[in-house]
Amino acid sequence: MKYTEFENCGLKKSLDMISGKWNPLILYHLFHQGNYRFNELWQTIPKVSKKVLTKHLRQLEENGLIQRKEIQGFPPRTSYNLSNKGKKLGPILKDLDNFGNS
Amino acid sequence: MKYTEFENCGLKKSLDMISGKWNPLILYHLFHQGNYRFNELWQTIPKVSKKVLTKHLRQLEENGLIQRKEIQGFPPRTSYNLSNKGKKLGPILKDLDNFGNS
DNA sequence: AAACTAGATTACCAAAAAGTAACCTTCTTG
DNA sequence: CAAGAAGGTTACTTTTTGGTAATCTAGTTT
């Protein structure tokens, strides 16, 4: 495998999707409690800044792992939950967790 | 899961082990060709600097994923290969690769 | 009409990760 | 005795990532 091939191999793509500082924790919460509004998530993850949380969520959304929905009403709310693709990560994250604990 | 728990959960540990910029590629090569000497690896991965390659290798070694051996003779050589623990990552990396390609 | 709300965005700053080029060591070879 | 070889280390710079605090929007409540 050459460098150029590596840059867009599946492994690299997957790791880029999940390895931002807060992504594993965001995914963890979405796996364990279906869906979150923005501020809920922000309060649940105490140390992340809004800016970075937004950035992580946008990126997860772009990569198709989560879905963002705007909820009608005022003030405007958003809801985030795992997509079908995102849910497929479940067993892999579990394997990684087991590996890290072994 | 709270932030403090997250900091030393298995998932975080695993991701920290493998998500350095060059780690996936280093592991890939070790999986596909048993062992490498330092300069072999450096030439195989054309853009990494010696400094960073060394750092990655040291870290993989500390985490028990690879083994470093000094080979007697002159000039002194080193050889790197996967440990048993490292080999256990194989299926997980394969899953991540499939996921990223899907 | 002022204050409040959720979900951000902006400008600016700090820290972490990676890159570059030169150098070191210890023997061996020409 | 100068040059070369393998496997690094060092000092310094750049890039990437994340953090802080202030601000915005537009409808709602007091």
Q: How far is CA B26 from CA B7, B22, B54, B58, in A?
A: 25, 6, 11, 12
**Facing A11 at nearest CB: one of B2, B9, B96:** B96
| CB contacts, 8 Å: B11 with chain A | 24, 28, 93, 96-97, 100
How much of chain B, in percent, has pLDDT values that exceed 70? 100
Nearest residue of A to residue B47 by CA position?
A3
CB-based contacts of A49, cutoff 8 Å, min separation 6? none
User: What pLDDT was estimated at residue A34?
Assistant: 93
User: What pLDDT was estimated at residue B4?
Assistant: 81
How much of chain B, in percent, has pLDDT values that exceed 90? 91
Listed by start position, the domains of chain B span 3-101
**Facing B9 at nearest CB: one of A32, A92, A97:** A97
Angle at B3 between CA B1 and CA B6, to 5 degrees: 65
Q: Between chains, do A99 and B3 touch, taking CB under 8 Å as contact?
A: no
Q: At what angle do helices A90-101 and A23-32 cross, to 10 degrees?
A: 120
pLDDT in tens, B36-56: 999 999 999 989 999 999 999
pLDDT in tens, B4-21: 888 889 999 999 999 999
Taking phi over 0 as left and psi of -120 to 50 as alpha, with beta for the rest, B100 belongs to alpha
Q: A37 and A79 in contact (C-beta within 8 Å)?
A: yes
Six-digit token string for B60: 């993989």
User: What pLDDT was estimated at residue A4?
Assistant: 85
Distance CA B62, CA B56 (A): 10
CB-based contacts of B21, cutoff 8 Å, min separation 6? B48, B52, B56
> B3-101 is classed in which CATH architecture?
Orthogonal Bundle (1.10)
| CB contacts, 8 Å: B89 with chain A | 99
Distance CA B99, CA A88 (A): 8
| CB contacts, 8 Å: A56 with chain B | none
Average pLDDT over residues B46-68: 97
The most confident of A43-47, A49-53, A73-77, B72-76, by mean pLDDT: A49-53
Distance CA A29, CA A53 (A): 13
Q: A60 and A29 in contact (C-beta within 8 Å)?
A: no
